[in-house]
C-alpha cells in the first residue's frame, strides 16, 4: 500500500493531526495506524479532561489558547449532540494559593498577564463566594482562568477520530512492527510483521509508547510512560453547585464528573500527579492511594462534600519528558520522521494546537501559527530544557 503520510497512534493527538492536515488543504493519502481500536488503554480515553491556559511560557499559553478556542466550537464542528458531546465546560480552572506558594504564584500571575493569558486573582472572600463551604483559613488568594475548564475525554477522542475519517483519513488496526529506512530516510512502516505501507512522512503520535516506536526508526527520545491514578467519588448528598476545576496546594485536584442522565448520582473526579512514580507500562490501580494521597486533601478543603457512598479508581499513563513538556518536529539524521510526543499529562489539552502545527510542518515544511522550535528533541542533548513551572 502507498500513502503520503502515516501517523502511528490514533488517539487524540494522532487523530487531530490527521484532521487538521486534511482540512488545511492537504490532498494526499493519510493513514492512521492504531493497534487497539477499543482505545481501552489510550491515555486520552483515561484522562481527566482538563483544558487550561494557565501556563508560564508564552508558547504553552499560545498552544492552550488555540485549543480552548477549538474546544469551544468542538461539538458544533463535529456535530456531536447529547450524550456523545464533548461538552467543554468552561467553569474555570482555580488554583488555590497558600503562604508557601504566594511568591511563585504572584510572579506567575504577572507573567501570564504579560503573555496575554485570561486569568484573575481572587481574594479569600471571593473564593468563599465562588466555592461555598471551602476551607480557606490557610489560603492567601486564588488564581482563576474563567475560560478554562474540562471536557469529556471519551467524546473528544471519538470526535477527532470520526472527524478525521469524515475528511478522508484512513484508520488501520494493527501494531507497527518496523519502520523502513533507506540510509537516513524513512519511507514507510511494517504492520504486524506482514503488511507494508510506504510513505514519505511517518509521524510518531504513539503517546506513552513513543520511545518504543522511535526505536524502530533508530531514534532515542527521552519519553517514558508513567502511571497516574484517578478516582471517581460518588457523593452521598448531591450538590446543585458546579465548581471550577480546583487545584489544591497539595497537588490534589478535582472537578465534577457531570452525570449524563438526570437519575445518575453526583460525583467528583479526583487526581494527583505523582512525579516519583517509577516509569513503566503499569495500569494497575492501587485503591489504597485514595485514602493515603487523595481523600485527605479533598476532605480538608471541602468538608461538606467528604461523605461518599463509594469510590471507583483507574490508572492511565502519562508520557513524561525530563522537563515535562512535549517534543515536536523533525529528528536529526532521520528524514521524514516527525515527533508529536511527551505531553506529560497535557495531550488532550494540546491536541488541537498540535494538529495545526504538525499540519503546517508536513504541508509547508515550516511552522506558521506557532514556533515550536524550542520544543525540538535536540534541546535535551544541548541542555536547553524548556522551562514552564505551571505544568501539573
Q: What is the pLDDT, as a whole number, of residue 81? A: 54
Residue 313 to residues 1, 230, 286: CA-CA distances in angstroms? 42, 6, 8
- DSSP for 78-135? TT--GGG----B---EEEEEEGGGHHHHHHHHHHHHHTT---EEE-HHHHHHHSTT--
More confident residue, 90 or 383: 90
Q: What is the pLDDT, as a whole number, of residue 243? A: 87
- Is the pLDDT at 40 greater than 70? The verdict is yes
pLDDT tens string 137-153: 999 999 999 999 999 99
pLDDT tens string 366-376: 999 999 999 99
Confidence of residue 388 (pLDDT cuts 50, 70, 90): confident
Give the alpha-carbon dihedral of 52, 211, 275, 296, to 10 degrees: 70
Q: Where are the beta strands (DSSP E) in the chain?
A: 5-8, 30-34, 50-51, 93-98, 120-122, 139-145, 149-150, 170-173, 176-182, 185-191, 195-198, 201-204, 224-235, 245-247, 252-256, 267-272, 308-320, 327-330, 337-341
Q: What is the pLDDT, as a whole number, of residue 261? A: 66
Q: What is the pLDDT, as a whole number, of residue 260? A: 66
- Is the pLDDT at 106 greater than 60? The verdict is yes
- Is the pLDDT at 2 greater than 80? The verdict is yes
Cell, residue 66: 488555540
Residue corresponding to grid cell 485536584: 253
Query: Domains in the chain and their CATH numbers?
Result: 5-49+154-223+322-379 (3.50.50.60), 90-147+225-319 (3.30.9.10)
Residue corresponding to grid cell 484522562: 47
Q: What is the pLDDT, as a whole number, of residue 80? A: 60
What are the phi and psi torsion angles at 212 (to 5°)? -65, -40
Q: What is the pLDDT, as a whole number, of residue 274? A: 80
Confidence of residue 110 (pLDDT cuts 50, 70, 90): very high
For the segment 89-110, the average pLDDT, to the nearest whole number, is 95
- Is the pLDDT at 306 greater than 60? The verdict is yes
Cell, residue 310: 463509594
Mean pLDDT of the chain: 93
Collapsed DSSP state (helix, strand, coil) of residue 290: helix
**Distance from CA of residue 287 to its chain's centroid?**
24
For the segment 80-85, the average pLDDT, to the nearest whole number, is 58
Confidence of residue 237 (pLDDT cuts 50, 70, 90): confident
123-132, 234-243, 254-263, 282-291, range with the lowest pLDDT:
254-263
- Is the pLDDT at 86 greater than 90? The verdict is no
pLDDT tens string 328-343: 999 999 999 999 999 9
Apex 297 CA angle, 277 and 89, nearest 5: 90
Confidence of residue 392 (pLDDT cuts 50, 70, 90): low
Provide, rounded to the nearest whole percent, the portion of the chain with pLDDT above 70.
Answer: 97
Amino acid at each position: 500500500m502507498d500513502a503520503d503520510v502515516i501517523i502511528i497512534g490514533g488517539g487524540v493527538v494522532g487523530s487531530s493531526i490527521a484532521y487538521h492536515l486534511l482540512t488545511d488543504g492537504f490532498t494526499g493519502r493519510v493513514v492512521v495506524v492504531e493497534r487497539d481500536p477499543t482505545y481501552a488503554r489510550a491515555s486520552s480515553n483515561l484522562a481527566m479532561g482538563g483544558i487550561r491556559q494557565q501556563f508560564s511560557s508564552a508558547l504553552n499559553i499560545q498552544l492552550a489558547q488555540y485549543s480552548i478556542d477549538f474546544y469551544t466550537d468542538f461539538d458544533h464542528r463535529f456535530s456531536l449532540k447529547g450524550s456523545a458531546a464533548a461538552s467543554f465546560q468552561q467553569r474555570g480552572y482555580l488554583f488555590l494559593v497558600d503562604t508557601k506558594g504566594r511568591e511563585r504564584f504572584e510572579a506567575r500571575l504577572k507573567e501570564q498577564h504579560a503573555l496575554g493569558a485570561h486569568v484573575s486573582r481572587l481574594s479569600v472572600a471571593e473564593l468563599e463566594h465562588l466555592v461555598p463551604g471551602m476551607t480557606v483559613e490557610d489560603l492567601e488568594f486564588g488564581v482563576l482562568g474563567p475560560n478554562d475548564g474540562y471536557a469529556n475525554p471519551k467524546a473528544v477522542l471519538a470526535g477527532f477520530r470520526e472527524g478525521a475519517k469524515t475528511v478522508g483519513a484512513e484508520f488501520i488496526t494493527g501494531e507497527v512492527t518496523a519502520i523502513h529506512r533507506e540510509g537516513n530516510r524513512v519511507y514507510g512502516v511494517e504492520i504486524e510483521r506482514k503488511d507494508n505501507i510506504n510513505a514519505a512522512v511517518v509521524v510518531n503520535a504513539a503517546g506513552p509508547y513513543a520511545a518504543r516506536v522511535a526505536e524502530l526508526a533508530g531514534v532515542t527520545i527521552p519519553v517514558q510512560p508513567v502511571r497516574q491514578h484517578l478516582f471517581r467519588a460518588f457523593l452521598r448528598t448531591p450538590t446543585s453547585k458546579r465548581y471550577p476545576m480546583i487545584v489544591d496546594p497539595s497537588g490534589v485536584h478535582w472537578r465534577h464528573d457531570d452525570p449524563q442522565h438526570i437519575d445518575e448520582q453526583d460525583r467528583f473526579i479526583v487526581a494527583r500527579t505523582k512525579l516519583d512514580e517509577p516509569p513503566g507500562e503499569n495500569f494497575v490501580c492501587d485503591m489504597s492511594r485514595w485514602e493515603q494521597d487523595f481523600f485527605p486533601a479533598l476532605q480538608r478543603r471541602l468538608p461538606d462534600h467528604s461523605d461518599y457512598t463509594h469510590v471507583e479508581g483507574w490508572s492511565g499513563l502519562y508520557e513524561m519528558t525530563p522537563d515535562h513538556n512535549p517534543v515536536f518536529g523533525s529528528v536529526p539524521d532521520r528524514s521524514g520522521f516527525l515527533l508529536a510526543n511527551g505531553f506529560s499529562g497535557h495531550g488532550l489539552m494540546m491536541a488541537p494546537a498540535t494538529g495545526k502545527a504538525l499540519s503546517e510542518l508536513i504541508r509547508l515544511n515550516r511552522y506558521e501559527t506557532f514556533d515550536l522550535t524550542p520544543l525540538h528533541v535536540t534541546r535535551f542533548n544541548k541542555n536547553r530544557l524548556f522551562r514552564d513551572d505551571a505544568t501539573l
